[in-house]
Structure 1
Amino acid sequence: MHPIIPAITPARAYARLPLTSLAIALAVPSIAIAQPTGDSAEPAQEPATPAPSSAGTGARDDGEIFVTARRRAETVQDVPIAVSVVSGEHIDNTGAFNVGRLQQLTPTLQFYSSNPRNTAVNIRGIGVPFGLTNDGIEQGVGIYVDDVYNSRVASATFDFLDVDRIEVLRGPQGTLYGKNTTAGAINITTRQPTFDFEGRAEVSVGNLGFRQAKAAISGPLTEQLAARLAISSTHRDGTIRNVLTERDINEQDNLGLRGQLLWEPSDALSVTLAGDYSEQDPECCGTVFVRVGTTQRPLNRQYEALAAAQGYVTPGRNGYDRLTDLDASLNAGNKIGGASLRASLDTGIGKLASITAWRFWDWKPENDRDFTGLPITTLSQNPSQQDQWTQELRLSGESDTLDYVLGAFWFNQKVRTQGTQQQGPAASAWLLNPSSALSQDPSVLDGLTARNDIRLDNTSAALFGQVSWRPAPGVTLRPGVRLNYDKKDGSYTSVVTNGDGQLVTFASSDPRIVAQRGVLAPQQFTADYKDWNFSYDFTASYEPTRDLLFYATYARSFKSGGVNLNGVPSDSSGAPILAAATVAPESVDHFEAGVKAQFLDRKATLNLAAFRTDIANYQALVTNGSLGVLRGYLANADKVRTQGFEADFSFRPSHRFNAYINGAYTDAKYRRFTDAPCPPELSGGTPVAAGQTPSAPGTAGGISPANCDISGQRLPGVSKWSLSYGAEGNVPASFLGLDGAFFLGVDGSYRSRFSSNPSPSAYTWIDGYALTNLRGGFRADDGLELYGWVRNAFATDYYEQLQVPSGNTGLIVGNPGDPRTYGVTLKHVF
């Protein structure tokens, strides 16, 4: 652990009572500073604290909302990029306290997480491969917090802390951002230190033992030095009952701290030193039984027969009963933090910015990898430690006809992972062929242990820039370029020993050793990748009036190649096939056109975008028959395409009412993928031989294809239709002697059915669902707010993700979404 702020005792509610006390104390100060209300014929009738901004367009009552998507402050409607904006107030009021909740407000964002490490954040269906975590590849969606790049998606699972706004940029962003991002970027801006004293505090309680406290305070230390401190604590009981341990699992137990110092010795220079530390300590992350599908394994090697042979009965066959009996330890211990130094200097010819940052991530998981209450896999853990350093320099300037951004970026990352998997006394009967006598001997696999050592050293450097030229009134041409160098050095070592302490090797012909290495095979290899890449983009925009903007973009981008760090296929002698140890970079062609408009005296905002992205050498989980073995690993699919259109609309006729609706149609497909892994219904049988025809899907004891052609089928995790909407109205009133307004709000989301397996399977489609959230309360003019809320108000049953456990027994498990939750929040801004 490398926290720059002293660590706090891990999260349990009783240990966090001082934080709750602090938040309550801040919630009732005696001095409050009134917020500006904007122009009004009857200012006394307008709330001093306006309603939250609209999600998507960012429209608000008290003037324009400014973003820094293009590394300069400008209004959302002036940015020729498809960008969704969500303000901090909207995040707080809708309970969207992490990226997982953010996807309910931005329809083109997809978030999937079975645990913090196995987390995917995609935009328009692309970003990282679905269902596989591999430290040796890049993510296609960049996550930035106050200009600092976060290389691990695990950071997305933490609570938002003192956030001012979040910008979700869609499409390639490599000519504007330090790290190249082919699918988009999530740009999180926190509230900064101020030279005027201000603060905010919030306390929430709800069902399932939900307790959340957040507080921030900011103000001057001297005439040139200001500071800001923020803290957040969240606890919620688990949503799944483990009948074996009689405990609720999949809980939330989060703590976050951030401190910032701002030094402004002159109008030309500002320097900000920031540090943050966050931790999670939940008993997580378990799954529930969903269904069983027939595979092509022999019938006696499929789930129902294997469970009956050991007298095993799952505690519930309806996943929405939220019952499990996982017998291995569960843990999702997660710590992340770091420090940054950001400086901005006005040089006279432009503004020079420097961002120096260090980040760390410590991950200490434990899982039950057999997904049952049987002692098949009794230990599964892959603790990992990451350190990263980044340095970015940017020079930006503007004149009447020309704006520019020039940048240089350097990135260094070190990842070390130590994995352990151990089999238990039920493993032999479950994993070995029942016709073999070895399957009746528990000692064959009991105690079989694989110890893995995985290492990655990753270095990247880039020069990038973008110029905006205005050759005529209303016309702007924006070319951008990027030169990038990447170097990755990785190694993978897996040492396997059996219960007797013997090494399991490919040299042995002992039947017991042969059976053991069929379950856990030793392997050792090193791999390296390095390459230069050049990418570019061009955007043309036309603004005929101040409230209407047309734009079109073409981008030629790439995602860096990588190394396989989860093991690779082996040949008949057990040697790793090194041709599979590296993956080539993705090559991306992106087309986009859009229009941004405001009308009805800027009370209504409508933004439209249409896009198409073609990817060659798409990095995916595949089975390549030319390598002669059947094993899933990361390699390159030929072609992928995602295309569609998006619309963001908001209407704010007055301070008293606002509404928004955002929608997206996304058609994301494998255009050519001929050697994909087969879905479970076409796997597990006798490998097809020359002249044979594979059996029909779900034929027990059938003949399975070596691989499957899924060209034309949909990418996983992507709904064709997705929607978010919301509205809030208020009426002036007095309550408890305070002037203000009563308000009532609703927000909701919908997504159509989507596949939850890299190769679409009849067993892993998730039906479409809609979620509706309600809130209502009183918002005082002095910044005090009290309201009740209900999330998933109609108690919709849905799965966030389905999984196919290894072994292809036909078992399907899943992660059910949150049930109905409700509570009350007390907040004060002063």
Structure 2
Amino acid sequence: MRPQPLHHLFASTSLRTLALAAALTVGHAPGLSAQQAGSSDAAAEAGTTPATDDAVQLSPIMVEGKGGADAYTATVFTGGEIEDLGLDTVEQVLRMTPGVNINSAGGTNLSTIYIRGVGSMYPMNLGDSAVPMIMDGAPAGPSYLSLGTLDVQSVEILKGPQGTTFGPSALAGAIDITTRLPTRTLEGYGRAEYGQQGQALLEAAVGGPLTDTLSGRLAVRYTQSDHWVENSADGGEPLSTPSDVAFRGQLLWDAGTGTSARLVVEHETVSALPTLFVLMPYQNPASVDLTPGLYDDDSKTFDRYVLQIDHDLDIGRISSISSYMNTSGSAILAYDGNITTAQYGAPSEYWVKDEMQQSVFTQEVKLSAPTDATLDWVTGAFFQHAVASYDSPLTIYGANSPTLRDYTTDTYALYGDVTYGLTDSLKLTLGLRQNWTVASYDGTFWNSGFALYDSRSMDETATTGRAVLTYAVARTTELHAKYARGYAPGGFNVYTAQVADGEPFAGAINDMIELGFSTATEDGRFALTGAAYVNWVSDNHLLSYDSMTYVASAVNVDTRSQGFELQGRWRPGHGFELAVGVSYVDATITGDVYGVADGDILSGNAVPDVSPWSALVMASYETPLPAFLGLTSPVLKSVVSYNYVGSRPANPQNNLYLDSYQKLDVHLGVAQGQTEVYVRADNLLNDTYDLYGYYVPSASIAYGGMARGRTFVAGITHRF
């Protein structure tokens, strides 16, 4: 991705978020005012003028770049859509995305992200992900998935291998999160919500000029709710009361003459959000049998500092992105009396306390072509230094057998990408990336006063890249053919519980072929994009887990996924807009793995957690209402989303499948000027779908975690 000058971002999003079709229908609006932003929030976020029919502006959920250095497919959610649908965490956004699957136990620990059937099958360590997150240009690991969407401008889910136009390497895709920038006019908003199960939210942001060249923005959020799982040992009270406190401050300096700088400082703390181990089938309401208050001290704290500096030179734009992220957390992993009774025949309770800490420094420098250059190119260098610990200092039986693990990882990369016009209609893009990874691990395993030590190191190199041909059939229709290779580094298993499990796992390589198209009508009221693809992954990451001894080890296995996706947008006018996406994925394990603790894994088994079919339908409608209750010019605003996720295997042995589910969310509000009062129905169908599942073959039982059921929320938002 080519960086943009930050002073141009006051009113426009990056080119990579604009569909070819959308670019033909809604233009760049550098002079967008705060008043316009308040009246059409999504349009303001997209840097576009509102449609003439004043419809609620849903972004095109499939994005196809212009070709060349920006050629890829992606799914985009604007900040307005995220707020309207009540998507308070990144995980909730991803679960709405066709072709994306998540394995998460509901807490703040590690999560698995699959894009088009490609992903680490249970992450091995704090940095192991086929899908890196990028927040305001700086990379973050999969452990940030549970964090919030405070004052977000957009969340883009990039699909396919990445890494020749920006810092981190990506095996399956990347998640690009952009927060709202400071503006040159004073503006902001306040939002308050309250709903069933004690759901409460307070959020506010304000931004504007501080001097002639300096702007600032401050955003804060507080959320709290009662957990939807009950604790029978506590008389059916909620298992915990999770809360989230976050703030973000930004400074944006526009020095003129092509020089700008952006500083981001952010803090977030998530408290009392439990990791769920609930016996299947779930009771109604879902319930566990655990010591009351066990999760009260669970917490995760996230601090982030990002400095981006851009400067225009005669040969192009040079950009520096420096970031430092520090994360610490403590979590209880608990098997309750229901599980232990079913597995061992006696009601008891087993839990272990895990503590994690990670500090990551990243530096990226890139040089990109001038905006008016005929040849589109970018080249850059990337460095990351990560120091982490993942300790288990305490179990229910006391502190006599702690496990202490320390990790250091240095990542280096050089990359470059160039697009050349072969003819007026045909363009060729070539990208190349060289990766170097150096990692070390130290483990200490205590047992009744005796300690065993383990110390290892590894280094790894990988060469990746891409070749893309794009052909403009007509002004509004484009075809592309792409080959891309992605990479996820190897490393050491964060769950190592004994010296014998300390061997490193190898890095994974994904070779992908994709054919795609994008087309739109000349008037821009209808747009459609699609792609068909095949991924061949060598040495994919798989965590082998023994449900009897709780020992986990790292395994590499080959996989293949193939499928297609179609996504489009229709704007017929009269305040109505419809966006639809559908994805089909066939993801298969292509190698045998014998000796896995909970059962051999055979070639031909389906990749766990990947649903063959998924779909998203989003519709919006906005229309004036007659005056009532003293409102002189009320406007009805409504947004409806329908999300379908098909049945999928819960584990690589394929002896447990999770049910398909449907999620329907409705936002209905009345706006007067810059103020909207609304109600929202979350999960209206009350389909308490599985977040994940695990099967214990020795006892023929299964446990997992489920999402919150149907709730209603009322809220008010005011923009100024």
Q: TM-score range by the shorter chain?
A: 0.7 to 0.9
1:198 counterpart = 2:195: no
2:312 is equivalent to residue 346 of structure 1: yes
Structure 1 Cα separation of the partners of residues 645 and 349 of structure 2: 35
Structure 1 window deviating more from structure 2 (451-460 vs 582-591): it is: 582-591
CA distance in 2, matches of 1:126, 1:44: 37
Cα offset, 1:155, TM superposition: 1.3
Compared with structure 1, are the counterparts of its residues 669 and 322 closer, same or farther at alpha carbon in structure 2 (3 Å cutoff)?
same
Secondary structure at 1:33 match in 2 = helix
The answer to whether the Cα contact below 8 Å between 1:54 and 1:659 also exists between their aligned partners in 2 is no
State the partner residue of 2:375. 402
* Alignment partner, residue 584 of structure 2: 665
Residue identity matched to 1:33:
Q
Within 5 Å, give how 1:230-245 maps onto structure 2.
230-245=219-234
Name which of 226, 243, 254 aligns with 2:244. 254
Q: Which of the residues 185, 190, 215 maps onto 2:174? A: 185
1:80 and 2:71 matched: yes
Correspondence for 2:555 among 631, 635, 646:
635
- What is the rounded CA distance, in whole Å, between the counterparts of 2:74 and 2:111 in structure 1? 22
- Classify 1:540/1:155 alpha carbon distance in 2 versus 1 (closer, same or farther; 3 Å): same
Q: Show the counterpart of 2:638.
A: 744
Q: Does 1:391 find its partner at 2:363?
A: yes
Deviation, structure 1 residue 154 = 2.1
Cα deviation digits, residues 137-183 of structure 1 (max 9, x gap): 631101011101012x2211111011111111001101122111111
Q: Is the 8 A contact 2:114 2:610 kept in 1?
A: no
Is the Cα contact below 8 Å between 1:529 and 1:563 reproduced in 2? no
Contact 2:606 2:652 in 1 (8 A): no
User: Is the CA contact 1:258–1:276 (under 8 Å) kept in the aligned structure 2?
Assistant: yes
* TM-score between both structures, scaled by the size of structure 2: 0.87
DSSP-derived class of the 2:402 partner: strand
Per the TM alignment, residue 245 of structure 1 is displaced from its structure 2 partner at its CA by: 2.5
Match of 1:604 in 2: 526
Match of 1:824 among 693, 697, 714: 714
Amino acid at match of 1:383: E
TM-superposition CA deviations, 1:766-825 (whole Å, max 9, x none): 111111111212133x322221110111212322212346x9433322212211011112
Q: 1:367 to 1:423 in 2, by over 3 A?
A: same
Aligned positions, number = 665
Q: Give, in angstroms, the shift of residue 198 of structure 1.
A: 1.0
Equivalent position to 2:647, from 728, 734, 753: 753
Structure-2 separation of matches of 1:597 and 1:245: 58
Mapped contact 1:100–1:112 kept (Cα < 8 A): no
Aligned partners of 2:351 and 2:552: how far apart in 1?
Answer: 22
CA separation of 1:251 and 1:659: change in aligned 2, threshold 3 A: farther
Which residue does the alignment assign to 2:89? Answer: 98
Q: Secondary structure at the match of 1:103?
A: helix
Task: Report the residue type matching 2:639 in the other structure.
Answer: G
Matched with 1:492 is 443
TM-superposed CA distance for 1:345, in Å, is: 0.6
1:538 equivalent among 467, 472, 493: 467
Q: What SS does the corresponding residue of 1:803 show, helix, strand or coil?
A: strand
Q: Does 1:422 align with 2:427?
A: no
Unaligned runs of 5+ in 1: 1-30, 59-68, 292-317, 425-446, 504-521, 570-575, 680-706
Q: Percent identity of the aligned residues? A: 23
> What code does the residue aligned with 2:272 have?
P
Q: Secondary structure at the match of 2:84?
A: helix
- Return closer, same or farther for 1:320/1:468 CA change in 2, 3 Å cut-off: farther
**Matching residue of 2:689:** 798
1:403 touches 1:469 (CA, 8 Å); kept in 2?
Answer: yes
Distance in structure 2 (CA, Å) of the matches to 1:120 and 1:229: 31
1:280 maps to 270
SS of residue in 2 equivalent to 1:665: strand
Q: Give the whole-Å Cα distance in 2 for the aligned partners of 1:205 and 1:728.
A: 23
Aligned residue among 668, 674, 683 for 1:783: 674
> RMSD of the TM alignment (CA)?
2.8
Cα 1:674–1:34 shift into 2, 3 Å: closer
Matched position secondary structure for 2:308: strand
Is the Cα–Cα contact under 8 Å of residues 77 and 154 in structure 2 kept in the other structure?
yes
1:379 CA displacement: 4.5
Between the aligned partners of 1:191 and 1:804, the Cα distance in structure 2 is 43
User: Matched residues in 1 for 2:228 and 2:550: separation?
Assistant: 37
What residue in structure 2 maps to residue 549 of structure 1? 478
2:190 is the alignment partner of 1:271? no
- Give how far 1:45 is off: 11
Deviations 1:64-90 (A, max 9, x none): xxxxx9xxxx77999421111111111
Q: How many Å separate the matches in 2 of 1:817 and 1:320? A: 13
User: What letter matches 1:276 in structure 2?
Assistant: E
Check whether the contact 1:376–1:423 (CA below 8 A) recurs between aligned residues.
no
Inter-CA distance 630–163: structure 2 relative to 1 (3 Å threshold) = closer
Alpha-carbon distance in 2 for matches of 1:760, 1:250: 32
Q: Which of the numbers 187, 194, 197 marks the counterpart of 1:208?
A: 197
Question: Whose Rg is larger?
Answer: 1
The alignment status of 1:121 with 2:113, answered yes or no, reads: yes
Q: Structure 2: any 5+ residue segments left out of the alignment?
A: 1-32, 44-48, 341-345
Q: Does 1:144 align with 2:134?
A: yes
Query: Displacement, 1:252?
Result: 3.2
1:226 counterpart (215, 225, 231): 215
For residue 528 of structure 1, what is the aligned residue in structure 2?
Answer: 457
Tell me the SS of whatever aligns to 2:72.
coil
Q: Displacement, 1:544?
A: 2.5
TM-score (norm: length of structure 1): 0.76
Question: Does 2:62 align with 1:57?
Answer: yes
2:10 corresponding residue in structure 1: none
Cα pair 1:362 1:383 within 8 Å, conserved: yes
The answer on whether the counterparts of 1:632 and 1:677 sit within 8 Å (CA) in structure 2 is no
What does 1:427-576 correspond to in 2, within 5 Å? Answer: 449-497=400-448, 503=450, 523-567=452-496, 576=499
8 Å CA contact 1:594–1:609 kept in 2: the answer is: yes
Amino acid of the residue matched to residue 362 of structure 2? T
Q: Measure, in 2, the Cα distance between the counterparts of 1:766 and 1:589.
A: 29
2:443 partner SS: strand
Q: Which amino acid aligns with 1:484?
A: N
Q: Contact 2:277 / 2:335 at 8 angstroms: preserved in 1?
A: no
Select between 457-466 and 371-380 the one with higher mean Cα deviation: 371-380
CA 1:55–1:769 in 2, change beyond 3 Å: closer, same or farther? Answer: farther
Residue in 2 that maps onto 1:814: 704
Question: Given residue 160 of structure 2, which amino acid in structure 1 is its aligned partner?
Answer: G
- Name the CA distance, whole Å, in 1 between partners of 2:157 and 2:508: 22
CA shift for structure 1 position 719:
0.4
Q: Give the Cα separation in 1 of the matches to 2:50 and 2:375.
A: 44
CA distance in 1, matches of 2:195, 2:67: 35
Distance 1:77 1:555, change over 3 A: closer
